[in-house]
Amino acid sequence: MPFIPHTEDEIRDMLSVIGADSIEQLFDEIPAHLRIKKLEGIPDGLNEMEVSRLMTARAAQDGMPVCFMGAGAYDHHIPAAVWQITTRGEYYTAYTPYQAEASQGTLQLIYEFQSMMTALTAMDVSNASLYDGASALSEAVLMAVRGNRKSKSRRILVPTNVNPVYRSATKSIVQHQAIELIDVEFDTKTGQTTLDALKAYEGEDITAVVISQPTFFGTLEQVDAITDWAHANGIMVIAVVNPTSLSLLKPPGEWGDKGVDIACGDGQPLGAPMSSGGPYYGFMCCKKEHVRQMPGRIVGRTLDQDGKEGFVLTLQAREQHIRRSKATSNICTNQGLVVTASTIYMSLLGPQGLEKVAAACHLNTNRLIEKVSAVKGVDVLFNGIVFHEVVLKLNKPVAEVLAALAEKNILGGFDLSSDYPQLKNAMLVCATEMRTDEEIDRYARALSEIL
Amino acid sequence: MLIFEHTTQGRQNTAQAPVVNAEVNDIPVELRRKTAAPLPELSELQVVRHYTRLSQKNFSIDTHFYPLGSCTMKYNPRACNSLAMLPGFLSRHPLAPEKFSQGFMACIYELQNMLCEVTGMAGFSLTPMAGAQGEFAGVAMIRAYHDAKQDFERKEILVPDAAHGTNPATATMCGYTVKEIPTLDNGDVDLDALKQAVGPQTAGLMLTNPSTLGVFERRIEEIAKTVHQAGGLLYYDGANLNAILGKIRPGDMGFDVIHSNLHKTFSTPHGGGGPGSGAIGVSNRLKPFLPLPMVAKEGESYRWLTEKDCPQTIGRLSAFMGNAGVLLRAYVYMRLLGKEGMQRVGEFATLNANYMMAQLKNKGFDVAIPDRRASHEFIVTLKKQAKELHVTAMDFAKRLLDLGYHAPTTYFPLLIPECLLIEPTETEAKESLDGFIEAMLQIQSEAENDAEFVKGAPYTMPVKRLDEVRAAKQLDLSWVNQS
């Protein structure tokens, strides 16, 4: 019996202790007519060799195209040590550290993770993670509604250059709580959110504004000016940031005079494989004064009975198992295992390694821009600096071009036409540190052959 | 020591970082980071050693019996991990076109169908990233269903008082108020109270069956009828699905929507607190509202269902496809077990729990509901020990750690004083169960002879009991911001 160790003798002995004739008898409190005899629709079990054969074939079937796609999931190098250590049974098969004394490994690791995230973002505190970037933004919105006591409106300004699926997931998650998400259009020349567009709301009661740095288009926002404008108008600032970029770009804790109130984003670029979309994790950092409004697990350092340093889950009075219907969120878990990977990733790369990753991504993308700009039928849509993604405007429908690139085993980019029909024939392209000069040249050549 | 305290300024691991031959000089200075982030600087060996040593401070299923009630800490087969981490799966971009995705999508499609089969539901969406998000999706669908019928008067969700804390928290997130229904001493829901409570304001009832008290709700059909007749829907919290896997299906009991914690019943790892998966299944009437994405099969190929196919969907809950890697692990697990293996899960989980309950009862421990069958878990109450010996459930829990056992769930459900909720799972051998029972007897005898000794436990862990009050009052949440 796969994974079940019982022998016939043991089963007999155990039933006799229970005083039952058969295992079936243990289910005698369940109405007999509801019980099923068989699971007809489930295939017969396979052994490990057979399942391996099946999965190996399926994994191979999906090919491994050269990836120029980003749009929220990024192809980065992950050092070998990261997942070898992460999948040690002591991390992989532990649960939430409720018994702190028997979970100091996980707890200290989360404390170190929180410390690293505050280092990267220049914020005061971090939680132990949320599900992904989209859920982190939705929780940040809920947190701002609780945190901005001066605002009664529950209205949030969300520029449309924020990742569209983050916006739609946030809408799905917060819509039942009378929260209004207001679209703020970006400037069509620069892809940026302008102060003028925001100033249209001056004098109104606005709870928070979301700023994405870089934007979904890869362009850079005037983060200082927007942050200061918001604070001058009693509006909380939620930053959505790419963690790779933070080694190069100004961290949200230093935007404007006071820094943002909440910073969040997706931790995938820090050591999680693209893996079809998950598991990733959402990170969330905030200013000290908002910590009691923050959702999710938080680990604190304290002392034991002998005065020795140790780590515990703390501020649990915010959480569902204590507060039930009055909790800050229904969230129980974090994405512990992926946080483990990320903590090891950041430790291995260190500040200089992370800066090199960010620089290599940026320089590769600049090189890509230079190469494809020379291709007839390709225009760079927005003027200005980008981090590691760029919007290209084509003289043909994007779907057609992407299909032709796929024939050449190239994952050519993300088609923006359904989320941004007004941009017409635009696609979002990314070149991380993984792309070689040769691959970038090949990409440009392929485009010129197709267009 | 913290990893930060092993830092030597200027130390670098050049093997892991890319080579950068040019300066970044095009980003305006006001958008640039001014000083490097204060992150650790170590060699690869130092990092590997630090995190390997930290791991050794954890209890885990791979190292210890972990009978944590309501969490289903069963063995996580290693094949599930290695096959989900094949390079083709890891490198697949979530937005890759269907051409580069057929292998992955086949797994997702078949997993959707197998979950329908084992739960008796009509449709499944795998996108929720944890049980709590599955609950959210489920209650949001209940709301969407009533809204679609222009029935806006249903503002209340009913929840038994034994429920997980997520149930009421979720109902609130969906804009509902919560009304608690009492539980009888025998563990069943108070049906008379339920009949009093339902009405035109009832959106639905959230129920865990078997309940968190470790017994099967015997009058489930009457409960379903009561809620349905009032126009409400029935939500199944799948936390305890392991108890009945292959024996009875929530769909056949009358439930309209269920979330299944794949990290419990289908053995994906708990990972120190996630990632989980709260896949969500529904009966026919809720099918149009399922969250996206889902996979459909047309001819021999698979395609993603979008908002165009499902105009009434409650939308998206994650940026991509939920915790895709977790889903692959659950898929491998289900294929390894097959139809026969899955039926054995419920049987042996139940056998192990009833055996432990019978033994502990025989040896003098009080169980919370003594004359009922245990499901896959049961409750020992240490009320007597707390009163007579001043040794609490927490003291027993801490002393168990010294004896090499992870403690059961303590102080949940809230209804039972001084409780230990014990769930052995089907993958534990009889000798583990016997060892745990021996440990409980040893602690009982220690408590009778030297209560103070038990109250001082644990003694063999990396730390003794920690000062939680200090942790909450003198907040120390980041090394960086205090040095």
One domain, residues A207 and A334: yes
* The two three-digit tokens of residue B3, written as one number: 């990893």
**B317 and A273: CB-CB below 8 Å?**
no
Contacts of B48 in chain A (CB under 8 A): 81, 85
Q: Are both A276 and A392 inside the same structural domain?
A: no
Instruction: Provide mean pLDDT across the span B17-41.
Output: 96
Phi, psi (degrees; rounded to nearest 5) at A251: -70, 150
Q: Which helix (H) or strand (E) holds B196?
A: helix B191-197
Q: Which residues of A touch B269 (CB under 8 A)?
A: 92-93, 337
Regarding whether A183 and A125 lie in a shared domain, the answer is yes
Q: Over the stretch B99-135, which tens digit does the pLDDT of each residue have?
A: 899 999 999 999 999 999 999 999 999 999 999 999 9
B257: which strand partners? B235, B282
The half-sphere exposure of B164 on its side-chain side, counting CA atoms within 13 A, is 25
CB contact B99 to A (< 8 Å): yes
pLDDT above 70 (res B483) = no
The answer to whether the CB atoms of B338 and A45 lie below 8 A apart is yes
What range defines the domain where residue A378 resides?
A: 66-77+351-450
3-class SS of residue B412 = coil
* Cα–Cα distance measured from residue A125 to residue A262, given in angstroms and rounded to the nearest whole number: 10
Interface touch A168/B273, C-beta < 8 Å? no
Q: Which of A180, A242, A77, A85 minimizes the C-alpha distance to B46? A: A85
State the Cα–Cα distance between residues B242 and A316, nearest whole angstrom.
28
Alpha-helical runs (H) found in B270-392: 324-362, 383-388
Tens-place pLDDT, residues B140-189: 999 999 999 999 999 999 999 988 888 998 999 899 999 999 999 999 99
Res B266: pLDDT: 97
Count other C-beta atoms under 10 Å from residue A415's C-beta: 21
A131, A390, A405, A430: which to substitute to probe chain B, counting the most B Cβ within 10 Å? A131
Q: How far is B378 from chain A (nearest CA, A)?
A: 13
| Together in a domain, A278 and A366 | no
Most B CBs within 10 Å, among A16, A24, A39, to test the B interface: A39
Q: Give chain A positions within 8 Å (CB) of B85.
A: 83, 87, 273
Closest CA to B274 of B322, B314, B236: B322
The answer, for B426 touching chain A at a CB cutoff of 8 Å, is: yes
Chain B, residues 129-168, CB within 8 A of chain A, namely 129-133, 135-136, 140, 143, 164-166, 168
Residue A393 counted as domain residue:
yes
Other C-beta atoms lying within 10 Å of the C-beta of residue A119: 25
Provide, rounded to the nearest whole percent, the portion of chain B with pLDDT above 90. Answer: 95
Clarify whether residues A178 and A248 are in a common domain.
yes
As a whole number, mean pLDDT of residues A218-228 equals: 98
Q: Is residue A3 part of a domain?
A: no
**pLDDT tens-digit map of B212-270:** 999 999 999 999 999 999 999 999 999 999 999 999 999 999 999 999 999 999 999 99
- State pLDDT tens for residues A410-451: 999 999 999 999 999 999 999 999 999 999 999 999 999 999
Residues of B in contact with A162 (CB under 8 A): none
Closest Cα in chain A to B253:
A34
All residues of chain B having their beta carbon less than 8 Å from the beta carbon of residue A169 are 315-319
A324: pLDDT confidence band, cut at 50, 70 and 90?
Answer: confident
Question: 3-state DSSP call for residue B366?
Answer: strand
Confidence of residue B19 (pLDDT cuts 50, 70, 90): very high
Q: Are residues A136 and A100 in the same domain?
A: yes
Single-letter amino acid, residue A186: F
Alpha-carbon distance A353 to B44, whole Å? Answer: 12
Subunit contact A27:B247, Cβ cutoff 8 A: yes
Sign of CA dihedral B164, B167, B173, B177: negative
Q: Which two tokens stand for residue A105?
A: 């490994």
Q: Which of A51, A169, A344 sits opposite B332 (nearest CB)?
A: A51
| Residues of chain B contacting A254 with CB distance shorter than 8 Å | 34
Q: Do A235 and A326 share a structural domain? A: yes
Question: Each residue of B354-367: b (16+ CB within 10 Å) or e?
Answer: bbbbbbbeeeebbb
Size (chain A), residues = 451
Please name the amino acid found at residue B20: V
> How far B84 CA lies from chain A's nearest CA (Å)?
8
- Is residue A390 within 8 A of residue A427, CB to CB? The reply is no
- Take residue A142 and report the two structure tokens written for it: 């809920």
User: Is the Cβ of B102 closer than 8 Å to some Cβ of chain A?
Assistant: yes
Whether A179 maps to a domain, the answer reads: yes
What is the Cα–Cα distance from A416 to A423, expressed in whole angstroms?
8
Instruction: Tell me how close the Cα of A442 comes to any Cα of chain B, in angstroms.
Output: 19
The minimum CA-CA distance between B362 and chain A, rounded to whole Å, is 9
Question: Is residue B68 a contact partner of residue A22, using CB atoms and an 8 Å limit?
Answer: no
Beta carbons of B28 and A58 less than 8 Å apart: no
Residue A294 inside a domain? The answer is yes
The residue of A4, A226, A245 whose CB has the most chain B CBs within 10 angstroms, and thus the best one to mutate to test that interface, is A4
Please name the helix (run of DSSP H) or strand (run of DSSP E) that holds residue B440, with its range, or none: helix B430-449
Paired sense of beta strands B233-237 and B257-261, if any: parallel
Work out how many domains chain A is built from and give that number: 3
Instruction: Identify the CATH number of the domain in which residue A123 sits.
Output: 3.40.640.10
From the number of C-beta atoms within 10 Å of its C-beta (0-12, 13-18, 19+), residue B164 rates as buried
Rounded Cα gap, residues A369 and A46, in angstroms: 50
How much is the average pLDDT of A390-394?
Answer: 98
On whether the CB atoms of residues B206 and B159 are closer than 8 A, the answer is yes
Q: Is the separation of the CB atoms in A282 and A131 below 8 Å?
A: yes
- Asked whether residue B354 carries a pLDDT value surpassing 80, the answer given is yes
Residues of chain B positioned with their CB less than 8 A from the CB of A69: 93, 95-96
Give yes or no: residues A172 and A293 share one domain: yes
Q: B320 vs A165: CB contact, 8 Å cut-off?
A: yes
3-state secondary structure of A403: helix
Q: Are residues A178 and A95 in the same domain?
A: yes
Q: Please name every residue paired with B303 in a beta bridge, in sequence order, or none if there are none.
A: B296
Query: At residue A272, what is the residue type?
Result: A
pLDDT 10s digits, A66-113: 999 999 999 999 999 999 999 999 999 999 898 999 999 999 999 999
Cα separation, B408 vs B65, whole angstroms = 10
Distance of residue B391 Cα from the nearest chain A Cα, in angstroms: 18
Map tokens 């050449």 to a residue: A408
Exposed / middle / buried, residue B431 (Cβ in 10 Å: 0-12, 13-18, 19+): exposed
Pair A284, A149 in one domain: yes
When CB atoms are compared, the residue of B79, B95, B271 closest to A71 is B95
Contact A81/B48, CB-based, under 8 Å?
yes
Cβ distance of A324 and B169 shorter than 8 Å: yes
Roughly how many angstroms between the first and final C-alpha of chain A, as a whole number? Answer: 59
Any A CB within 8 A of B29 CB: no
How far is Cα B143 from Cα B137, in angstroms, rounded to an integer?
10
Question: Cβ of B45 under 8 Å from any chain A Cβ?
Answer: no
**Using CB atoms and an 8 Å cut-off, which of residues 355-384 of chain B contact chain A?**
355, 358-359, 362, 372-373
- Nearest CA-CA partner of B108 in B120, B94, B121, B119: B94
Mean pLDDT value of segment A235-248: 98
The residue with tokens 């009358």 is B254
Set of chain B residues whose Cβ sits within 8 Å of the Cβ of A304? 463-467
B6-43 per-residue burial string, b: 16 or more CB within 10 A, e: under 16: bbeeeebbeebbbebeeeeeebeeebebeeebbbbbbb
For B303, the 3-state DSSP assignment is strand
Q: Which residue of chain B comes nearest to A214, CA vs CA?
A: B31
Q: Identify the residue whose tokens are 């936390």.
A: B239
What's the CA gap between A34 and A193, in Å, rounded? 59
In a domain, A374, yes or no: yes
Strand partners, B122: none
- Residue A303 to residue B97, Cβ atoms within 8 A: no
pLDDT tops 80 at residue A321: no
Closest CA to A209 of A189, A220, A225, A190: A225
- Cα B394–A300–A121 angle (5° rounding)? 150
Question: Are both A321 and A362 inside the same structural domain?
Answer: no
pLDDT tens for each residue of B330-339: 999 999 999 9
Q: What size, in residues, is chain B? A: 483
Q: What is the mean pLDDT of chain B?
A: 96
Cα of B351 to nearest chain A Cα, Å:
7
Q: Which CATH architecture has domain B79-337?
A: 3-Layer(aba) Sandwich (3.40)
Say which CATH architecture domain B343-468 belongs to. Answer: Alpha-Beta Complex (3.90)
The secondary element (H helix, E strand) that includes residue B3 is none
CATH number of the domain at A403, please: 3.90.1150.10
CB A344 within 8 A of CB A81: yes
- Of A196, A186, A210, A218, nearest to A422 by C-alpha is A186
Indicate the domain borders of chain B.
Answer: 3-55, 79-337, 343-468
User: Sorting pLDDT into bands at 50, 70 and 90, what band is A329?
Assistant: confident
How far is A239 from B105, CA to CA, in rounded Å? 34
- End-to-end Cα spacing for chain B: 15
* Contact (CB<8Å) B71/A353: no
Within an 8 Å CB–CB cutoff, is residue B180 touching chain A? Answer: no
For residue A215, tell me if it sits in a domain.
yes
> Does one domain contain both A187 and A104?
yes
User: For A101, which DSSP code?
Assistant: G
Closest by CA position to A329, among listed B132, B274, B175? B132
- Closest approach of B235 to chain A, Cα-based (Å): 16
Chain B residue numbers with beta carbons less than 8 Å from the beta carbon of A61 are 88, 102-103
Residue indicated by tokens 């300066």: B23
Backbone region of residue B429 per phi and psi (left: phi > 0; alpha: psi in -120 to 50; beta: other values): beta
Mind listing the pLDDT tens digit for each residue in A33-70? 999 988 989 999 999 999 999 999 999 999 899 999 99
